[in-house]
């Protein structure tokens, strides 16, 4: 099915919580989910080959994954969605990075209200089947082997995306993980926001329900016992050299980890 409108808009309200009646128990949640995910990925890949994998269809596949996660028993709690709608124009979402889940789910949350793209690693674009899907949605691709070159790429291509009205999601950690290491959390997103005079929206997330895999990091075990949490903070602009704003993002993420009783996952504080 080709979508010409959004099937659902989660951000119509400020918060979303999985309805209790929708939470189910599945005997083999990981196996059940990945069977359905494979179908979604193949179908999305088919749409990219036909050049019809636009924003509507990207959101539709993201929400389809969201629905399949809820159906195996994973519960979502999302808050602060009005924060990224409180101003006009694109912005920079700066977030911690925990698992594959957020890269698949965030488009379904944000894109219907603010068209968005990701800063992604080059190898992600080279994945069979999944790579063409990623490349179809205007990513900013970095290699992570040359920080200076990556900065140049992000600033140049980021400017183009923002001028086109696309917000940008950036995960500034060196690598994703269950812990939040503020010393490995770079200020690239702040630099990009400052250079283009756009708002920053801090985002804290907890997605340990999708574990990192032992053989393939992107595809690990699903744990329905763990609730997925997203919290969007209040937007702000950068003044000065950006050091204060960088700290503000870090402090927001740490405060949400504390609220979620995850203080043991904060390191280098």
pLDDT per residue as tens digits for the range 1-25: 778 888 889 999 999 999 987 556 6
Eight-state DSSP code of residue 184? G
The DSSP output letter for 16 is: E
- The pTM of this model reads 0.93
Res 65: pLDDT: 97
Cα(172)–Cα(156) distance, integer angstroms: 17
Q: Averaged over 19-35, what is the pLDDT?
A: 80
pLDDT digits (tens, 9 = 90+) for 172-229: 987 888 889 988 899 999 999 999 999 999 999 999 999 876 666 667 899 999 999 9
Distance CA 30, CA 193 (A): 38
What is the reported pLDDT for 132?
A: 78
Q: Read off the pLDDT of residues 97-145 as tens digits, 9 standing for 90 and up.
A: 999 999 999 999 999 999 999 998 877 767 766 777 888 898 998 876 7
Inter-residue contact 168 to 115 (CB < 8 Å): no
Helix/strand/coil (H, E, C) string of 115-172? CEEEEEEHHHHCCCCHHHHHHCCCCEEECCCCHHHHHHHHHHHHHHHHHCCCEEEECC
**Residue 66 predicted with pLDDT over 80:** yes
Dump pLDDT digits (tens) for 78-94.
999 999 999 999 999 99
Rounded CA-CA distance 51/55 in Å is: 12
The CATH code of the domain at 19-260 is 3.40.1130
Lookup: tokens for 70: 């809820």
Q: What was the pLDDT predicted at 42?
A: 92
Please provide the average confidence, as pLDDT, over all residues in the chain. 91
Cα distance between residue 250 and residue 238, in whole Å: 15
Residue 222's pLDDT is 94
- Evaluated on CA atoms 23, 25, 30, 33, the torsion sign reads negative
Q: Where are the domains of the chain?
A: 19-260
Q: What is the DSSP letter of 212?
A: P
What's the pLDDT score for residue 150? 85
Residues listed for the chain: 269
Q: How many CB atoms lie within 10 A of CB 83?
A: 19
Question: Residue 189's pLDDT is what?
Answer: 95
As a whole number, mean pLDDT of residues 44-68 equals 94
Tally of CB atoms within 10 A around 137: 19
pLDDT of residue 23: 55
pLDDT of residue 146: 78
């Amino acid at each position: 099915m080709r979508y010409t409108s959004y099937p659902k808009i989660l951000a119509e309200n400020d918060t979303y919580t999985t309805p209790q009646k929708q939470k189910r128990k599945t005997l083999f949640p990981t196996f059940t989910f990945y069977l359905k995910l494979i179908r979604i990925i193949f179908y999305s890949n088919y749409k990219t080959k036909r050049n019809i994998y636009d924003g509507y269809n990207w959101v539709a596949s993201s929400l389809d994954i969201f629905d399949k996660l809820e159906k195996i028993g994973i519960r979502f709690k999302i808050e602060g969605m009005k924060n990224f709608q409180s101003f006009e124009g694109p912005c920079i979402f700066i977030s911690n990075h925990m698992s594959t889940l957020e890269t698949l789910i965030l488009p379904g949350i944000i894109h219907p209200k603010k068209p968005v793209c990701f800063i992604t690693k080059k190898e992600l674009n080279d994945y069979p089947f999944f790579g063409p899907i990623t490349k179809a949605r205007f990513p900013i691709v970095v290699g992570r082997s040359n920080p200076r070159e990556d900065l140049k790429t992000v600033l140049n291509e980021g400017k183009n995306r923002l001028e086109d009205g696309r917000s940008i999601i950036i995960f500034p950690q060196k690598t994703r993980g269950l812990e939040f290491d503020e010393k490995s959390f770079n200020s690239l997103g702040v630099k990009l926001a400052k250079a283009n005079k756009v708002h920053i929206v801090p985002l804290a997330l907890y997605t340990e329900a999708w574990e990192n895999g032992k053989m393939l990091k992107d595809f690990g075990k699903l744990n329905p016992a763990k609730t997925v949490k997203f919290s969007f903070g209040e937007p702000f602009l950068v003044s000065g050299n950006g050091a204060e704003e960088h700290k503000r993002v870090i402090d927001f993420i740490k405060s949400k980890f504390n609220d979620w009783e995850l203080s043991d996952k904060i390191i280098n504080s």
